[in-house]
Amino acid sequence: MKLPLLRRVASTRLFCLLLLLPIGAAAQTPATPGPDAVGTAVAPQDDADDAATGPARFGIELEAPASIQPFLLRHVDLQRFRSLQDLDGNELDRLLIAAPENLRNLLGTQGHFSPVISVSREPAAPGDAQAPALGTVRIRVEPGPITSVASSSVYFRGDIANAEAAAAQRETIQRRGQQALGRSFTQSGWGQVKADTLRQLTSERYPRGRIVNSLSDIDTTANAAHWHIELDSGPSVQVGAVRVEGAERYGTATVERLVGLAGLRPGADYSLSRLQDAQQKIADSGFYTSVFAYVELEPEGADRDSAAPVVVQVKEAQLQSIVLGVGGSTNNGPRLSAEHRHLRVPGIGWQALSKLQLERNDQQLSSDWSAPIEDDGWHWLAGGRLARQIDDETTLSSLRLSAGKAQASALLDRRYFLQFDRARTVNTASAQASSDGNEAAISANYGWTWRRFDTLPYPNRGYGLGLTLGVGMTLGSVRRPFVSTQARWLGYWPLDPVSEALDELLTTGNTPGNTPGNAASGSRLGRLALRLQGGAVQASRNAPIPDSLLFLTGGDTTVRGYGLRDIGVVQPDGSVTAGRYLGVASLEWQRPIWRNGLRTPWESVLFVDAGTVTNQTSQVDTRVGVGAGLRYNSPVGPLQLDLAYGVDAKRFRVHLNVGFSF
């Protein structure tokens, strides 16, 4: 399709040298002047003074609105010549002739196409040794009205123009292009919208797609920008067979199966998201230390109608490994751990992970076994755990054995399993809080976990929901049926999602969900995070339910302001025991910390937590904790340090938590 002839055209080539100029962001400081406030800014001498180049030859004073002063001072061409020691007055005067055009182009990248600019030079006062030798260049800028995006149109060539299967993709591309309407024009924003449009084309079905025409039409009379992008999709691409490179010890069957489970079976349409999902599935299998997956496209002139093979390059992990670890937490003090992994147990071919972990209040020995994944995505698993946990005068020793099948994906995990539990509780201060060690139970369980977060491990929006349902029978001399249920919820809500989505599109080219949580994007007001957790064990009053199936709460990741498992059922003698009902709620305000107009990897956190454990729903004693903290978005995951006050405990506690999991 040919674009219509337009009268007033600002070609994208006009600003091609300025595409990478960043957009100045307002610093998050309490005394920042308004964007329309006019003032005079002086270019710092330090920008030009240097031991190698000598003092600045001339100064620059800029009178312009505060919103554009830093941008102009940073990028005006005159800055490059201030340190030239052989620059004389005649050469500077020639530079001043070109300065208005340079400033006009810079202002155009920020949407100001009708500026009034004056540039003059004031010679240095005689005998003033502190003044620059060539005096001061005085620049006065009235930027005029800013241009807004009035229309944004996308045109299609190739298979996507008429293919019925691509209708949803066409609609998505056109809808994304409309998100910029009404926003202020910037050259960087225009470039990023083009990049985002092309990415939407090439991520599904058409990896060979390209932009064949792009035009930004500037109507200086109406202060309006009209954007036009023409895409050529080329033919659609279907994937073919899987080719695995680097597989020796573990074969290729698992890789081929995981690629198919991601939706890339021979004949399927190309999909970047499915390709990335396949790559993640293969990496999560544990067999490989590195994985790179791509679709091999035929070169120019080759048979482009043939299926494109999926190539997976892998580097295999060692068959066996031992990992020793040290760490610590505010809940449990120092931690020592040792784990052994075997990726292919002789005779059965299962993976086995055995782990010993020693902490001040918790000791645990566990072994988890997992079978190779099957064609339907399910796999068998089995495990055992011996644990001892100490809470003041109470020591709980437990054994747990389980076996079942599981299916995991990026959005949904499912699992069904049989579980055997035995527990013995000893309380040195209270016989009422102790047990005789005969509490045992067997149960059948089914669990679901849904995840709809935009980015991990730094979610900015979305939710996660986990549910587990179990039906069982106590064992031993007293046998009683019981039903156990557990639920957990985690949700995130940006406080200004509309402006966030549009600013992200115009400044970074990312749509919400593609930007890492520690990038310089997102809402300045931050987000709200709501965490809910509940559990119930329904059984007759005299049913001897093992304490390992009951509930305690309190600590770093539950109710802050209280110690680990400090919240339970309070007995008449003051001791705390596990209960049959659990409720926990936490609300956080997580706000990014900005500095000099850029978002730092730090965030401030305000929170309120509440939790209760009881044996009777009619008798609920809720414990509340409030506090504040800091979160650092490190390369390995979020690190959070909190200071919490337990309202009922009437004391402060420091809590440290690392990582994100749901």
Show which of 142, 165, 194 is a domain's final residue: 142
Render the burial of 75-99: b for 16+ CB within 10 Å, e for the rest.
bbebbeebbbeebeeeebeebbeeb
Q: Is residue 529 over pLDDT 50?
A: yes
Q: Is residue 352 part of a domain?
A: no
CA distance 35 to 65: 6
Asked whether residue 123 falls in the same domain as residue 251, the answer is no
Distance CA 491, CA 500 (A): 18
**Rounded Cα gap, residues 653 and 326, in angstroms:** 23
- Note the pLDDT of residue 305: 66
How many domains in the chain?
Answer: 3
Residue 407 and residue 284 in one domain: no
- What is the reported pLDDT for 211? 96
Place of tokens 């910390």: 593
Tell me whether residue 513 is in a domain: yes
Q: Is the pLDDT of residue 534 over 90?
A: yes
pLDDT of amino acid 445: 98
pLDDT for 299 equals 66
Whether residue 315 has pLDDT greater than 70: yes
**Is residue 538 located within the same domain as residue 635?**
yes
Domain assignment present for 538 = yes
Q: Taking a C-beta distance cutoff of 8 angstroms, is the pair 370, 415 a contact?
A: no
Domain end (from 91, 116, 142): 142
Structure confidence at residue 515 as a pLDDT band (50, 70, 90): very low
Alpha carbon distances (Å) from 147 to 25, 111, 481, 604:
18, 5, 71, 36
Q: In the chain, pLDDT over 70 holds for what percent of residues?
A: 85
Q: What integer is the mean pLDDT of 4-25?
A: 34
Give me the helix-helix angle, 187-202 and 89-109, nearest 10°: 50
Look at residue 22 and tell me whether its pLDDT is greater than 60. no
Residue 202 in domain: no
3-state secondary structure 319-367: CEEEEEEEEEECCCEEEEEEEEEECCCCCCCCEEEEEEEEECCEEEEEE
pLDDT bracket for residue 476 (50, 70, 90): confident
Residue 499 pLDDT: 45
Average pLDDT over residues 400-407: 96
Q: What is the pLDDT of residues 544-579, one digit of tens each?
A: 999 999 999 999 899 999 988 899 998 887 778 899
Lowest mean pLDDT: which of 430-439, 440-449, 507-516, 539-548? 507-516
| Cα–Cα dist 185/147, whole Å | 6
pLDDT tens by residue, 24-82: 333 333 444 555 666 666 666 555 555 456 688 899 999 999 889 999 999 999 998 98
Amino acid residing at 448: W
Q: Is 573 domain-assigned?
A: yes
pLDDT at 571: 82
639 and 516 within one domain: yes
How many H helices and E strands in the chain?
Answer: 7, 28
Q: How far apart are CA 485 and CA 508, in angstroms?
A: 44
Q: Which helix (H) or strand (E) holds 42?
A: strand 38-42
**Digit-coded pLDDT (tens) for 87-146:** 898 999 999 999 999 999 999 999 999 999 999 998 888 777 777 888 899 999 999 999
99-113, 349-363, 442-456, 501-515: least confidently modelled range: 501-515
Same domain, residue pair 302 and 430: no
Co-location of 518 and 634 in the same domain: yes
Query: Up-side HSE of residue 332: CA atoms within 13 Å toward CB?
Result: 20
82, amino acid identity: R
| CA distances, 397 to each of 148, 158, 496, 548, 566 (Å) | 68, 68, 49, 9, 18
Q: Kindly state whether residue 4 falls inside one of the protein's structural domains.
A: no
- Say if residue 309 is in the same domain as residue 392: no
SS3 of 254, please? helix
Place of tokens 């046998």: 479
- Do 396 and 293 sit in the same domain of this protein? no
Instruction: Evaluate whether 478 touches 546 at the Cβ level (below 8 Å).
Output: no
Cα distance between residue 247 and residue 313, in whole Å: 8
Does residue 308 sit in the same domain as residue 405? no
Helix 167-177 vs helix 187-202: crossing angle, to nearest 10: 170
What tokens does 246 get? 């680097």
CB of 229 within 8 A of CB of 155?
Answer: yes
pLDDT tier at 654, thresholds 50, 70, 90: very high
Q: Compute the C-alpha angle 478/480/484, nearest 5°.
A: 135
Write out pLDDT tens, residues 256-284. Answer: 999 999 999 999 999 999 999 999 999 99
Four-residue CA torsion sign, 287, 291, 297, 298: negative
Least confident segment among 40-54, 184-198, 336-350, 584-598: 40-54
Q: Given pLDDT bands bounded at 50, 70 and 90, which one contains residue 83?
A: confident
Question: Same structural domain for residues 402 and 541?
Answer: yes
Give the pLDDT of residue 303.
Answer: 60
Q: Does the pLDDT at position 391 exceed 90?
A: no
In a domain, 557, yes or no: yes
Task: Mention every residue, 6+ apart, whose C-beta is less than 8 A from residue 656.
Answer: 329, 330, 556, 639, 640, 641, 642
Same domain, 426 and 540: yes
The CATH number of the domain holding residue 446 is 2.40.160.50
pLDDT band at 335 (very low <50, low <70, confident <90, very high): confident
User: 429 and 529: one domain?
Assistant: yes
Over 50: is that where the pLDDT of 5 sits? Answer: no
**pLDDT band per the 50, 70, 90 thresholds, residue 12:** very low
pLDDT of residue 107: 93
Q: What is the CATH number of the domain that holds 297?
A: 3.10.20.310
State the residue range of the domain holding 268.
Answer: 239-316
CB neighbourhood size of 62 (10 A)? 21
3 state SS of 370: strand
Using a pLDDT cut of 90, give the percent of the chain over it. Answer: 64
pLDDT band at 322 (very low <50, low <70, confident <90, very high): very high
Domain boundary, last residue among 273, 295, 316: 316
Q: Is 618 exposed, middle or buried (0-12, 13-18, 19+ CB in 10 A)?
A: exposed
> Is the link from the previous residue into 457 a cis peptide, with omega within 30 of 0?
yes
pLDDT > 80? residue 160: yes
Residue 231 covered by a domain:
no
Residue 569 one-letter amino acid: V
Return the bridge partners of 450, or none: 412, 465
Three-state SS sequence of 573-618: CCCEECECEEEEEEEEEEEEEEECCEEEEEEEEEEEEEEEEECCCC
